[in-house]
Structure 1
């Protein structure tokens, strides 16, 4: 089907807002298999460009760009109304933290593996698990671990409370994020190279496990979520 026919059939319009009718994979390049992120059913997106090889979009709730394949066009429909980010206070977050923790533990309880770009069950990457867990309790977060670090208020390791985020990486940049459970224990989705190839629990206090040791050596900082992410929605 030609591009103009696709535009007409699916009512495609750059700048228009749509919603996902099912979980969708989004790609770095439209005709390559490299996943960049995923969009859960109901997630809002905006078309920024229409090309013969794919549709360039931005996820409205977190400003994250990607490519939608032409074969997935049947899974989006025009949004009934523009996305309105929720207003979330620190008090709201404190009340939501037990639910976010419960989400990660339920995700760990089913078979899963680490998936770069994964934000929907059962397979997540590290920041995708954090984003999905807090989204499940009405707290939107930005997408990537380094963005989540910048979004939180930095706290000392000694100040960690359940629900705070722990960041790992290099001196230059965060590359991994975990959710603090209390008493130095944290839950995260980690890869095969130095993690568990899926969701597991480790510690920044008890370093008897090799995975805990590995990540402790890459500890950067900790952060506290103070509000919900407000998207720029720039096209």
Structure 2
């Protein structure tokens, strides 16, 4: 186990197993999860019972509980992003879709901040599906929206992303399956409390109707995310994370 005194800002670390990560140093609300051997480095000194960290693969800032120091190791080698082309993404789109469908077929419920099986939030499911085939995309729905190339819904292909919101910024994301159908993890109040398939063309299903009303457009992932190693903004406790 690595002690708090041994942690340094210049060292890369990695998780072993799945770790909950939080949106403030209070460690009350999940922001995301560290799956498998994801890497990170420190952003500052401990506050309360948490460390501010930056995840290496998507430049996502969050808080690691000091109670989970037994779940981290020194990284054997720093994370090195590999460029991924649109052609490579198209070749893997069937596997990306299959990941979401396999996840749907497991017992699951909507989990704000969830990025590991079996429970996901909307953008967590998208990130996990792309990561399953070696493609990193940003973590939150509004970040994913900003990362994509906007396309008309008539041009959407299976594997593209659909975005939803009743205002700004984007608050929900789904994976397009074709024929106006999409798969997503939706919440309890305005969704299915888990992963399901809905359609933009439904006139009878109330959940599909709701999302059709707040549909904002489609986007295409044209390249994998390339980490810069820098957080988006000043990182202090508390913070607010929209996932």
Q: TM-score range by the shorter chain?
A: over 0.9
Structure 1 contact 15–48 (Cα < 8 Å) conserved: no
| Residue of structure 2 in register with 1:78 after alignment | 74
In the alignment, does 2:9 pair up with 1:14?
Answer: yes
Which residues of structure 2 form unaligned runs of 5+? 232-243
In 1: Cα distance, 2:52 partner to 2:11 partner: 12
RMSD over equivalenced CA pairs, Å: 1.3
Q: TM-score, normalised by structure 1?
A: 0.94
In 2: Cα distance, 1:207 partner to 1:128 partner: 28
How many residues align structurally? 229
In 2: Cα distance, 1:46 partner to 1:217 partner: 41
Q: Which of the residues 171, 180, 188 maps onto 2:184?
A: 188
Which residues of structure 1 form unaligned runs of 5+? none
SS of residue matched to 2:173: strand
In 2: Cα distance, 1:22 partner to 1:12 partner: 19
In the alignment, does 2:42 pair up with 1:47?
Answer: yes
The structure showing larger relative contact order (alpha-carbon pairs under 8 Å, at least 6 residues apart) is 2
Q: What are the Cα deviations for residues 4-59 of structure 1, in whole angstroms up to 9, with x where unaligned?
A: x9334xx3112321111110001122333211111101111111123152211011
In 2: Cα distance, 1:80 partner to 1:6 partner: 18
Q: Which of the residues 1, 26, 32 maps onto 2:27?
A: 32
Structure 1 contact 18–76 (Cα < 8 Å) conserved: yes
Structure 1 contact 18–79 (Cα < 8 Å) conserved: yes
What are the within-5 Å matches in structure 2 for residues 209-228 of structure 1? 209-228=205-224
Q: TM-score, normalised by structure 2?
A: 0.91
Structure 2 contact 164–211 (Cα < 8 Å) conserved: yes
| Greater than 6 Å deviation, 4+ residue runs | none
In 1: Cα distance, 2:229 partner to 2:196 partner: 34
SS of residue matched to 1:61: coil
| Residue of structure 2 in register with 1:122 after alignment | 118
Structure 2 contact 27–50 (Cα < 8 Å) conserved: no
In 1: Cα distance, 2:168 partner to 2:66 partner: 37
Q: What are the Cα deviations for residues 106-137 of structure 1, in whole angstroms up to 9, with x where unaligned?
A: 00001100000000000000000000000001
Q: What are the Cα deviations for residues 54-98 of structure 1, in whole angstroms up to 9, with x where unaligned?
A: 211011111111111111001111111111112100110000100
| Residue of structure 2 in register with 1:165 after alignment | 161
- Label 1:207 to 1:39 Cα distance change in 2 as closer, same or farther (>3 A): farther
More displaced, 68-77 or 205-214? 205-214
